[in-house]
Structure 1
Amino acid sequence: MHFGLARRFRAPNAHVAPRLIWEAVIAHADWAPELLSALAAIRAGNRQAARQEFFSDHDRFFAHYTSADTVKKVLDSRGFYMRNSRLMNDHSEVSHGFQMVLTAVSETDGGSQYKAAWSSVEPRLGERLPQLIAEWAGKVMDDCFIISVSEHLAADDDGLLSMWRAYGTGDLRVALVARPGAVAPMAEAGVFLTACLYGDVHDVGRELGGKAAALCRHAGAFRDLSPDLIEQLALADAVNFAVSIKHPGFAEEREWRFVYVTDFPSAEMNARREAVVWGGIPQIVYKLPIILPCDAGWTPDRLSLERIILGPCAESRTVRRGLVQLLGDYGFENADDIVRASGIPYRQKM
């Protein structure tokens, strides 16, 4: 069956606490290492090996595609902005992810295994889980803030044509390329970083089955937890997964997402809330702070830009010189080395 999301999305139950634990990036001194390991294994599901392989491969990077104008905003504000998913070009993807999870939970073997696994640690939780997910989905879609990066190979100096066409505004687009190890620490204080799953309901069901297997292996870690906390953790895992699902037609993007949901708040992120005008639209954003070479306290590991790729444009040589000067003004001594121009031919719009 398919859930009618517009009809089923209601306000969350009052007994569900507003703070959910999304990843082990938030320090919990009173949580046993066994529980933190269990949550990490459940969150990773079938993709743990792929995640570890990506972060250990020195020839793979993250690239953030955006407009050249945004680069100046990032440098001036000392941070990347997480924007509300409803104001981004892929705003429908969050609702798509919830639809996939709700359908897979009810119609696939993996979904049945996922519900049974949660019921094994808290009786009848699996039966209630679809309703809990549906109740939270509407609020998550309203209050979900995202910034995306794509996997990038070291040998690629051109970038992806589909990304040049889809992301950024205006005629000048750039890709900021950095090592995953330098970017991943920004996932803190309630922000989680997750690789997107590109697939259909059956793929989502298989991933839920992997999560169920991990939960069964680590069931003992939940034996001393209260029923309310177990419910929160189950819901957090399902919501985390839902916001990382994309249609397989976008698989070329190889996207990872930094996600922050304001209904599951942290004091650090609340302090980073700002109002900006982006593309002529006033909006709330949350900043992931950075330090630049010209700032006190900067060290090379704080923002390790491997390169900036200038997307296809009419005057790439002239624009490249401008980008080199801009980075130099902010203390990047190797600016001339890291700014590259994509070799993809520029096509003038007719």
Structure 2
Amino acid sequence: MDIVKLFNSTFSDVAEFAGLGRKFIYYTSASTAQDIIRGEQIWMRSTQVMNDLNEINHGICLINQYLCLESCKLRDVLNNIDDGAFDCFLQYWNLFSRNFSSEVYIACMSEYDDKFPEGKLSMWRAYGDENSVAFVFNSNFLLNEWSDGYPLYSTKVNYDGGKYVPNFLDDLANGISDLELHPQDLGVLKNMLAWRCGVLAVSVKHSSFSEESEWRVVAIPSEWAPECKLSFSPEKIGLLPQPVVKLPLRDDEVHCWNNVSLPKLLHKILIGPSAFPSVVKQALSLELRNKVHNADDLFSDTGIPIRQNQR
């Protein structure tokens, strides 16, 4: 196994989830839902505009705590490759992590729970608005592997980071040790280890958020190759101009981006709490008709009443 294969193998939970035929739910506003259907894309936003930037700081702090441990297995493994290799990585990681929040873009979804076929009220309140919609997506698109054309990472969020982070990094250290690397391999290893720690940092949250059962699709535009097919451009969201990564919902078999077109991706669309649910359903159905066969059959009105203090 080479370095790339080792790091790709750390995303094994993706294949396991997709193999079980599980689904995701993506809560949003009716306006954003219309944009997604019309543009056949989801906008991935900078972690700098997250609801709580402390989420990333939480993950980075857990990684730094591990790297400072006397029992840090990664230190021993790197120094066995070359004396001082761990300190070299530590310097690189400290610089990388300081700039990381401005480098990474994410799209967030939750696992769809059949016990809550109409979605969770707490999630409607947190991520919808006065006219809310949720897409229920099939998960087979997760089986697309990272490529130069579509350099994306899909990761499950863990809510017990204090245990998860050191166990994950110990396992990764064991995998690196098995590769029998040489000093000349340290440049590639240092870069891949830093970005994997970065993805790990956005993959842990406080235990109080566990009901969200969240997954994240992660993009880091600064590491893209010239062959990248993703679009990175400024858009205006609300009153704030901001750069976004545009995640295409169109198949591109040439570049191994499959099962992401709306007919393959959509399982159903939930009309959530809304002052005008029938109007929202009619408008979105009209948008969808020229893209998906039997579009009307995909819609389900949850009937959840809207409250004036919902937001």
Question: Is the TM value for this pair above 0.5?
Answer: yes
Are residue 87 (structure 1) and residue 42 (structure 2) matched?
Answer: no
Q: Which residue of 2 aligns with 1:6?
A: none
Bigger shift: residues 224-233 or 234-243: 224-233
- Tell me if the contact between 2:34 and 2:284 (Cα under 8 Å) persists in the aligned partners: no
In the alignment, structure 2 segments of 5+ residues that lack a partner are: 252-257
Q: Which residue of 1 aligns with 2:5?
A: 37
Distance 1:71 1:40, change over 3 A: same
Distance 1:301 1:145 in 2: 19
1:69 to 14, 31, 44: 31
1:235 aligned partner, one-letter code:
A
- Tell me if the contact between 2:154 and 2:215 (Cα under 8 Å) persists in the aligned partners: yes
Give the drift of 1:187: 5.6
Distance 2:183 2:15 in 1: 30
Give the drift of 1:152: 1.2
Are residue 341 (structure 1) and residue 309 (structure 2) matched?
Answer: no
Distance 1:182 1:235, change over 3 A: closer
Give the drift of 1:322: 3.2
Q: Which residue of 2 aligns with 1:229?
A: 188
1:61-84 alpha-carbon deviations (Å, 9 max, x no partner):
122221110122123333111111
Distance 1:339 1:181, change over 3 A: same
1:130-179 alpha-carbon deviations (Å, 9 max, x no partner):
332221112111121111121113564211222212224x3112121111
Q: Which residue of 2 aligns with 1:153?
A: 113
- Tell me if the contact between 1:182 and 1:302 (Cα under 8 Å) persists in the aligned partners: no
Q: Which residue of 2 aligns with 1:286?
A: 245
1:55 to 1, 6, 18: 18
Distance 2:164 2:57 in 1: 17
Percentage identity across aligned positions? 25
2:26 aligned partner, one-letter code:
H
User: Aligned ranges for residues 50-199 of structure 1 at < 5 Å?
Assistant: 50-58=13-21, 60-107=22-69, 109=71, 112-154=72-114, 156-168=116-128, 170-182=129-141, 184-185=143-144, 188=147, 189-199=150-160
1:8-27 alpha-carbon deviations (Å, 9 max, x no partner):
xxxxxxxxxxxxxxxxxxxx
1:203 aligned partner, one-letter code:
Y
Distance 1:87 1:291 in 2: 26
- Tell me if the contact between 1:115 and 1:129 (Cα under 8 Å) persists in the aligned partners: no
Distance 1:343 1:115 in 2: 55
Runs of 4+ in 1 over 6 A off after TM superposition: none
Distance 2:127 2:57 in 1: 20
1:293-338 alpha-carbon deviations (Å, 9 max, x no partner):
xxxxxx976332001112222443443333323322x332222221
2:273 to 309, 312, 322: 312
Report the TM-score when normalising by structure 2: 0.84
RMSD (Å), alpha carbons: 2.7
In the alignment, structure 1 segments of 5+ residues that lack a partner are: 1-32, 293-298
Distance 2:283 2:47 in 1: 31
Are residue 258 (structure 1) and residue 217 (structure 2) matched?
Answer: yes
Give the drift of 1:279: 1.0
Give the drift of 1:202: 3.4
- Tell me if the contact between 2:156 and 2:203 (Cα under 8 Å) persists in the aligned partners: yes
Distance 1:180 1:140 in 2: 28
Distance 1:187 1:232, change over 3 A: closer
Give the drift of 1:277: 0.8
